[in-house]
């Protein structure tokens, strides 16, 4: 009987990956987001503060961070934990004083760390003096916000149109004092400023100068796409996704987001920043489609944040999906500009909760080894997971406006729990055993001090990546991306004279054997710089043949050429 020979041929989509060369003056550094309430509490009240940040700047230096971005520290009633600002030129007492801030700027600069502030131009707190005066119709504040008398239908007064807040519910709130509605694109305690009013634009320019005079190195602009609204106040077309007029997805936001005036205001801010000697960065927070996002590069931003690792990378992503995520940014970005990769932030579930470990490590590897600025949200360098927060302990306004049955899928609290420094009281975050959000119960295992001693820990991995990232040779290295198997994606960073690094990840649930010789210029053998999986298969600091590399299920591997200078 003749033997039947079965051929098993893996058919891969024929996708040619990109080769990208960093521009001459490429900006390539590591940016770290601090959520001040949760980084370090210096005075034992259970909430993080500026002195706490100063005490723990060494962690940033050790982690090769170049710039820190602080979520809002301004005076605020904390209805939205600082994004509701009642005084743009003062520090909230929770966080400290202006003197503490000045000390922080100095301490950061002493360590060559740039300090970026969150600039929140779209709205103020309803407790802001401007809004209180606007409410009473006192000039010139009467026109600082977006007021509208609404429309009367069959004798009943109704909001001017069908606009929905970006956090759900109507975007309009009635005030008897003014006999009018005001617009709030976020919570009702956050009335939108009226940017058609030149007085408002001037006030916000003064706010920028106030902080620039105190030595900051740039701004991260919050909720940029919401700044201007169409002045005709027309109904937005319905999306058809839901019949609920209070649902976030009820309308297509063509009159409340991405207005041309929103782009046009950016160069006016750029001009102010450029009046200062030290280089000033502008980063933009925007979740929008590719063309609307990329457009910010042309209006004076260093970059709009790239959230594709958050919005598009999932546990089931294929290698082709991942290659698309990576290639798209470089392909769509204007020439000679700065790419960037954001792995997480305070509005998203924790990276490890989203992807599981070790797929999360792949995302961290992308953020730090792909060319450009890599952004880390505090806690993600130690792989912090999400803590269950009871309904009673929930404080996020988004969670609180939901019901006991639904809050868990909406609340951002689980991703905001205090940083886990060590295994002492409150994970070394505070001397107080009661903290503003509960400490994650797993802190005895997952904390910076313990992880530093464990070669397989998340932090050890992060440290290795950050050491590679800081190398001047890697900053000049090109980028080549490849799909090696259905779930195996790899990219190379190649230099001419200083060696190369190959980053490989298997997102699949099965082991895969791949041939790395699809990379041109690759030598026959490479050093295993790091492997997340079984050390018997890929022992660290051992040499392997590139033609048959075994990648266990869900694994991350970093390989370097023997001549690598990083």
| Sites for Ca ion among residues 105-124 (CB under 5 A) | 122
Residue number with CB closer to Ca ion (269 or 281): 269
Asked whether the beta carbons of 229 and 255 are under 8 A apart, the reply is yes
Q: Which partner from the list Ca ion, ligand NAG, none does 124 bind, CB cut-off 5 to 8 Å by kind?
A: none
Query: Distance between CA 318 and CA 323 in Å, rounded?
Result: 9
For 102, which DSSP code?
Answer: H
Spell out, one character per residue from 69 to 108, where the chain touches Ca ion: x when CB under 5 A holds, - when not.
----------------------------------------
CB 8 to ligand NAG: min, Å? 29
Q: Indicate which residue of 49, 80, 118, 285 is catalytic.
A: 285
For tokens 């975007």, name the residue.
171
User: Which residues are paired to 69 by β-bridges?
Assistant: 33, 116
For tokens 């701004």, name the residue.
219
What is the DSSP track for 451-490? Answer: HHT-TTSHHHHHHHHHHHHT-HHHHH-EEEEEEEETTEEE
Q: Which of 120, 109, 112 is nearest to 29 (CA)?
A: 112
The pairing of strands 488-494 and 500-506 is antiparallel
| 285 is known as an active-site residue | yes
Residues that bind ligand NAG (CB under 6 A): 29, 66, 80, 83, 87, 89-90, 112, 120, 129, 153-154, 186, 222-223, 258, 285, 289, 291-292, 308, 312, 324-325, 328, 345, 347
Q: Which of 565, 493, 475 is nearest to 29 (CA)?
A: 475
CB 173 to ligand NAG: min, Å? 15
Residue number with CB closer to ligand NAG (187 or 427): 187
Q: Per CB under 5 A, which region of 224-232, 295-303, 533-541, 554-562 contacts Ca ion?
A: 224-232
**Chain mean position to CA 196:** 29
Of 83, 145, 211, 226, the residue at the interface with Ca ion (CB under 5 A) is 226
Query: Distance between CA 519 and CA 561 in Å, rounded?
Result: 13
Query: Distance between CA 392 and CA 184 in Å, rounded?
Result: 27
Q: Which partner from the list ligand NAG, Ca ion, none does 192 bind, CB cut-off 5 to 8 Å by kind?
A: Ca ion
CB 30 to ligand NAG: min, Å? 9
Using CB under 5 A as the binding rule, whether residue 190 contacts Ca ion is answered as no
Asked whether the beta carbons of 376 and 401 are under 8 A apart, the reply is no
| Sites for Ca ion among residues 121-160 (CB under 5 A) | 122
Q: Per CB under 5 A, which region of 131-139, 184-192, 257-265, 400-408 contacts Ca ion?
A: 184-192
Q: Indicate which residue of 92, 222, 229, 380 is catalytic.
A: 222
Q: Per CB under 5 A, which region of 80-88, 185-193, 437-445, 457-465 contacts Ca ion?
A: 185-193
Q: Which partner from the list Ca ion, ligand NAG, none does 413 bind, CB cut-off 5 to 8 Å by kind?
A: none
Q: Which of 122, 176, 177, 179 is nearest to 148 (CA)?
A: 179
CB 383 to ligand NAG: min, Å? 21
Of 43, 102, 235, 275, the residue at the interface with Ca ion (CB under 5 A) is 43
CB 40 to Ca ion: min, Å? 9
Using CB under 5 A as the binding rule, whether residue 41 contacts Ca ion is answered as yes
Spell out, one character per residue from 276 to 305, where the chain touches Ca ion: x when CB under 5 A holds, - when not.
------------------------------
Q: How many residues does the chain have?
A: 566
CB 130 to ligand NAG: min, Å? 7
Sequence-distant contacts of 129-132: CB under 8 A, at least 24 apart? 129/86, 129/87, 130/203, 131/191
Q: Which of 75, 400, 401, 23 is nearest to 207 (CA)?
A: 75
Side-chain-facing half-sphere of 178: CA atoms under 13 Å: 25
Q: Which partner from the list Ca ion, ligand NAG, none does 337 bind, CB cut-off 5 to 8 Å by kind?
A: none
Q: Which partner from the list ligand NAG, Ca ion, none does 49 bind, CB cut-off 5 to 8 Å by kind?
A: Ca ion
Q: Which partner from the list ligand NAG, Ca ion, none does 95 bind, CB cut-off 5 to 8 Å by kind?
A: none
Residues 6+ apart with CB under 8 A from 13: 320, 483
Asked whether the beta carbons of 514 and 530 are under 8 A apart, the reply is no
Of 100, 126, 173, 192, the residue at the interface with Ca ion (CB under 5 A) is 192
CB 277 to ligand NAG: min, Å? 15
Q: Which partner from the list ligand NAG, Ca ion, none does 403 bind, CB cut-off 5 to 8 Å by kind?
A: none
Of 28, 33, 35, 47, the residue at the interface with Ca ion (CB under 5 A) is 47
Q: Which partner from the list Ca ion, ligand NAG, none does 436 bind, CB cut-off 5 to 8 Å by kind?
A: none
Residue 497 has a CB neighbour count (10 Å cut-off) of 7
Q: Per CB under 5 A, which region of 38-46, 66-74, 355-363, 477-485 contacts Ca ion?
A: 38-46
Residue 311 has a CB neighbour count (10 Å cut-off) of 12
Query: Distance between CA 356 and CA 360 in Å, rounded?
Result: 6
For tokens 């994004």, name the residue.
83
Q: Which of 217, 409, 225 is nearest to 307 (CA)?
A: 225
Residues 6+ apart with CB under 8 A from 315: 355, 356, 359, 507
Q: Which partner from the list Ca ion, ligand NAG, none does 129 bind, CB cut-off 5 to 8 Å by kind?
A: ligand NAG
Residue number with CB closer to ligand NAG (133 or 270): 133
CB 99 to ligand NAG: min, Å? 12
CB 545 to ligand NAG: min, Å? 33
For tokens 């201007």, name the residue.
228
- By annotation, the residues acting in catalysis are 222, 285
Q: Which residues in this chain contact Ca ion in the complex, by CB under 5 A?
A: 41, 43, 45, 47, 49, 122, 192, 226-227
């Amino acid at each position: 009987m003749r033997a039947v020979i079965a051929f098993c041929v893996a058919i891969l989509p024929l996708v040619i990956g990109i080769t990208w060369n960093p521009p001459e003056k490429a900006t390539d550094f590591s940016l770290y987001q601090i959520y001040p309430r949760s980084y370090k509490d210096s005075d034992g009240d259970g909430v993080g503060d500026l002195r706490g940040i100063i005490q723990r700047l060494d962690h940033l230096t050790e982690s090769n961070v170049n710039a820190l971005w602080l979520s809002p520290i301004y005076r605020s009633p904390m209805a939205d934990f600082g994004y509701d600002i009642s005084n743009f030129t003062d520090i909230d007492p929770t966080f400290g004083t202006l003197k503490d801030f000045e000390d922080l700027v100095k301490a950061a600069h002493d360590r060559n760390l740039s300090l970026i502030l969150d600039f929140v131009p779209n709205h103020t707190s309803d407790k802001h003096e401007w809004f209180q005066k606007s409410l009473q119709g006192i000039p010139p504040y009467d026109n600082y916000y977006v007021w509208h008398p609404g429309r009367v239908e069959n004798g009943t007064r109704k909001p001017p149109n069908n606009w929905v807040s970006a956090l759900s519910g109507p975007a309009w709130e009635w005030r008897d004092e003014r006999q009018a509605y005001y617009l709030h694109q976020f919570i009702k305690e956050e009335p939108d400023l009226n940017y058609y009013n030149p007085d408002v634009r001037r006030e916000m320019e003064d706010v920028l100068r106030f902080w620039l005079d105190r030595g900051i190195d740039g701004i991260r602009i919050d909720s940029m796409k919401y700044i201007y609204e169409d002045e005709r106040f027309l109904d937005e077309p319905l999306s058809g996704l839901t019949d609920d007029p209070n649902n976030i997805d009820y309308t297509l936001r063509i009159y409340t987001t991405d207005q041309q005036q929103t782009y046009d205001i950016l160069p006016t801010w750029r001009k102010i920043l450029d009046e200062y000697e030290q280089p000033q960065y502008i980063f933009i927070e925007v979740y929008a489609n590719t063309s609307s996002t990329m457009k910010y590069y042309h209006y004076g931003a260093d970059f709009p944040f790239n959230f594709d690792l958050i919005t598009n990378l999932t546990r089931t992503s294929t290698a082709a999906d991942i290659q698309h995520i990576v290639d798209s940014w470089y392909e769509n970005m204007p020439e000679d500009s700065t790419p960037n990769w954001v792995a997480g932030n305070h509005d998203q579930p924790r990276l490890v909760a989203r992807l599981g470990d070790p797929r999360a490590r792949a995302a961290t590897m992308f953020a730090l080894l792909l060319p450009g600025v890599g952004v880390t949200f505090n806690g993600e360098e130690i792989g912090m997971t999400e803590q269950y927060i009871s309904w009673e302990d929930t404080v996020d306004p988004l969670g609180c406006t939901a019901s006991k049955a639904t809050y868990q899928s909406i609340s951002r609290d689980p991703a905001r729990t205090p940083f886990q420094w060590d295994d002492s009281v409150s994970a070394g975050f505070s001397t107080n055993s009661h903290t503003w959000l509960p400490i994650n119960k797993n802190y005895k295992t997952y904390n910076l001090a313990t992880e530093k001693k464990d070669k397989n820990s998340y932090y050890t991995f992060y440290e290795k990546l950050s050491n590679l990232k800081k190398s001047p040779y890697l900053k000049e290295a090109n980028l080549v991306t490849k799909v090696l198997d259905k779930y195996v994606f790899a990219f190379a960073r190649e230099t001419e004279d200083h060696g190369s690094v190959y980053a490989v990840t298997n997102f699949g649930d099965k082991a895969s054997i791949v041939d790395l010789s699809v990379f041109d210029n690759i030598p026959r053998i490479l050093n295993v710089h790091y492997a997340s999986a079984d050390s018997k298969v890929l022992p660290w600091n051992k040499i392997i043949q590139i033609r048959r590399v075994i990648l266990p299920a869900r694994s991350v591997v970093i390989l370097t050429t023997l001549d690598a200078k990083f």
